[in-house]
Amino acid sequence: MSPPAAVAAADGGTGGGGQQSRQQQQGGFGHSITGIIRIAVFWYFASKFFSPKKPADPSHLISNLFQKGEPMDMWLYLSEHQRFNDFGNEASLVWHETNIPYATWGPESTRTLSLNYHPSDALKNNGSLYAHVFFARSGYPPDPNDPEYQSQAAFGRTHSLVAYLPKSRSDKRKSLLGNSKDAEGSEPVAMVVDDAEAESKDDGPVEWIAYWKPNITINLVEDFTRKIFACSVITC
């Protein structure tokens, strides 16, 4: 009876060791899978951040809407309203030019105009005046309500012709380095104190006055570089 017991004990010891080895093999395989996943995730994010960016598709780039030397027309309206939509009012149209070559700087591209503008009563009482400048391809209207209007053939900008600045005050100070005859018998120190007191009494609310701008210069800024977005800009 002793030998079978020994065999049984031997078999039991062998089974326990096999189970433990199988668990170790499964654990090692699981760690390998986790390591591979971590490497794949790291490689994905690294490729996103450090890989060179692909150049944009030329078909998706936008260039200038107007070609160099293309003839353009210009309209300049004067209005007391910041938003302008009165294209049919001929009295507001003060300047109109045709066949201006775009982005060609020469004598034919420079136009000048001098005019006398008679302001209204509202404008005389600190009102505002705006210049509405519009450009369009020759033959196309700038009015969005016109049936022949095309949004990609016209553009414009509004510019204020009035600047509001603080009203200048009369200078009541007296120079101590003026005429020597006037300075004889006077008290310079007392004079300075009196002037300072007078200035402190005159301090009050600042009054703003509307000043006319004597001229306006209209320039077209062109950009023929192909990029994600581009547009023609008017600077005044």
High-pLDDT (> 90) share of the chain, %: 25
Range of the structural domain that residue 174 is part of: 168-205
pLDDT of res. 191: 44
Whether residue 133 is found in the same domain as residue 199:
no
What's the number of domains the chain is made of? 2
pLDDT of res. 194: 47
**Do residues 119 and 83 touch, judged by C-beta distance below 8 A?**
no
**Do residues 147 and 157 touch, judged by C-beta distance below 8 A?**
no
Whether residue 85 is found in the same domain as residue 156:
yes
Please state, in angstroms and rounded to a whole number, the distance separating the CA atoms of residues 226 and 228.
7
Question: Is 189's pLDDT higher than 60?
Answer: no
Whether residue 199 is found in the same domain as residue 222:
no
pLDDT of res. 211: 81
Residue appearing with tokens 């005046």: 129
**Do residues 223 and 68 touch, judged by C-beta distance below 8 A?**
no
Q: Please enumerate in sequence order all residues whose Cβ is within 8 A of that of 77, keeping only pairs 6 or more positions apart, or say none.
A: 84, 86, 87, 89, 92, 93, 94, 131, 132, 134
Whether residue 121 is found in the same domain as residue 85:
yes
Whether residue 223 is found in the same domain as residue 120:
yes
Whether residue 172 is found in the same domain as residue 157:
no
pLDDT of res. 195: 47
pLDDT of res. 62: 66
Whether residue 126 is found in the same domain as residue 99:
yes
DSSP string computed for 52-70 = PPPPPPGGG-B--SS-TT-
Residue-wise pLDDT for 126-178, tens only, equals 788 999 999 999 999 999 999 999 999 999 999 999 888 887 766 556 666 65
pLDDT of res. 39: 84
Residue-wise pLDDT for 57-79, tens only, equals 554 456 778 888 899 999 999 99
Length of the chain: 236
Please state, in angstroms and rounded to a whole number, the distance separating the CA atoms of residues 63 and 101.
18
Whether residue 174 is found in the same domain as residue 158:
no
Residue-wise pLDDT for 8-33, tens only, equals 444 544 455 555 555 555 556 666 77
Whether residue 130 is found in the same domain as residue 193:
no
- The runs of H, that is alpha helices, within 116-164 are 121-124
Whether residue 220 is found in the same domain as residue 127:
yes
**Do residues 133 and 76 touch, judged by C-beta distance below 8 A?**
yes
Answer with the residue of higher pLDDT: 220 or 51: 220
| Average pLDDT score, the chain | 74
* ∠ CA 173-178-183, rounded to 5°: 95
pLDDT band (50, 70, 90) for residue 196: very low
Whether residue 129 is found in the same domain as residue 219:
yes
Answer with the residue of higher pLDDT: 207 or 140: 140
